[in-house]
Amino acid sequence: MCRGPCSWATWSATPNPSIRLGEGGAVLPGSRSAAWARLLLTPGVGPRTAHALLRAFGSAETVLDASQASLSPIVGEELARALSEGPNAALLDHTLAWIDASGHHFLTWDDGQYPRALLQLPDPPPCLFYLGRPELLARPALAIVGSRNATAQGLENARGFAQALSQAGLTIVSGLAQGIDTAAHRGGLEGAGSSIAVLGTGIDRVYPAKNRDLAHRLAEQGGLLSEFPLGTPPTAGNFPRRNRLISGLSRGCLVIEATLNSGSLITARLALEQGREVFAVPGSIHSPFSKGPHRLLRDGAKLVETAQDVLEELGVLAARSPAEEPSPVEGVSKEHERLLAVLGHDPTTLDLLAQRSGLAVDQLAAWLLDLELSGRIQALPGGFYQRLSRL
């Protein structure tokens, strides 16, 4: 038991004499995990309450054995009564069954596999539900976040950065949302570092549902992580809370496309508060999706144009791989190459392209359609066209 002032990390390193071990040091079913689950599923027990109880009593088992009279001075009479009554029996049984299933990990503060980086947060979750490769939780990681309604260029950037950084050994952390998160996870899975999704729901639920296949891939090749009890739905308040774990697991946070009211800026702010590096990819001054990254850059975030920029800032040594080099333009005629040069990299209208190139509108429209079908440009709302660069 930690007496006097102590940090989360100090407490987690304190041995727990109440844990019963079997052969080979394995925790016996029904002891440690059951005690932690019962404690943490009790309504009203959050990180700070759990910390206060564990500092006072030393272990989850001892807390549950304590009388209401000894609990009340620490948590109050109402919560002391709730601890004596215990959590919902069906939820507890469901949770213990999940914990016992093969490949499922229930990580608590005193577990050696609990991510050390999270123990430095002001409010680390007392427990984590995890599916996937547990060794990824101990590897250096980078968060990549951004808009749910990203442009095609933003999605390509997210996947390209994630793939190159994962290949360099960084585990890519994001939130399984549509848009930039999804592209980042897919890119991370393509590299050696893989990817971890931090969920804003219980680990037995996938949100959004369209990412179910991606979630299955992450569970097999990367990781899925949640601090929420099983069955927790995707309520609005869960996601800002989830964001502190995305940044907390990572050495830095890279923002790719975000509006000024994007939740990605919350993640970036949390990263700064946690002492992590913040990176941003600049974009067109005309795009609302550039407003968030540009504000971060004005506030001191580091501008990045390539994956190598991130690796150098983090001090990660990695040889430049082919995936980090710009891909040559193949299968594009000289006429199309000239049109791409005229188009530039900012969104441009058909009329403005006609003025710049001197070409007839019908000829331009045909060539633009060819370039769109080949994945070289994107048609945007409002009659704009934008070139898609390749990392």
Q: What is the pLDDT of residue 20?
A: 36
Please report, for residues 43, 94, 129, 138, 258, the alpha-carbon distance to residue 281 in angstroms, rounded to integers and kept in the order given: 42, 43, 32, 27, 10
pLDDT at 146 over 80: yes
- Once rounded to an integer, what is the mean pLDDT over residues 270-294? 94
Q: Give every CB contact of residue 197 below 8 A, 6+ residues apart in sequence.
A: 173, 174, 175, 176, 181, 185, 215, 218, 222, 223, 224, 225
In the prediction, which pLDDT does 23 show? 37
CATH of the domain spanning 8-101: 1.10.150.20
**Which pLDDT value is given to residue 201?**
97
The predicted pLDDT at position 13 comes to: 33
Give CA–CA dist 180/206, Å, rounded.
17
Give the three-class secondary structure for 312. Answer: helix
Residue range 301-315: mean pLDDT, rounded: 93
pLDDT in the model for residue 230: 96
Work out the pLDDT band at 246, boundaries 50, 70, 90: very high
pTM: 0.77
Task: Return the higher-pLDDT residue of 322 and 337.
Answer: 337
Instruction: Domain ranges for the chain, please list them.
Output: 8-101, 134-324, 334-387
* pLDDT at residue 259, rounded to an integer: 95
173-222 pLDDT per residue, tens:
999 999 999 999 999 999 999 999 999 999 999 999 999 999 999 999 99
Residue 10 has pLDDT above 70, yes or no: no
Lowest mean pLDDT among 18-27, 103-112, 306-315, 364-373: 18-27
Range among 11-15, 24-28, 147-151 rated most confident? 147-151
Average confidence (pLDDT) over 224-253: 96
9 confidence band (pLDDT: 50, 70, 90): very low
pLDDT at 73: 94
Architecture of the CATH domain 134-324: 3-Layer(aba) Sandwich (3.40)
Which residues share a beta bridge with 280? 255, 303
pLDDT class for 166, splitting at 50, 70, 90?
very high
Identify the pLDDT of residue 351: 80
> Is 34 in contact with 106 (CB distance < 8 Å)?
no
CATH code for the structural domain at 334-387? 1.10.10.10
Average pLDDT over residues 38-66: 91
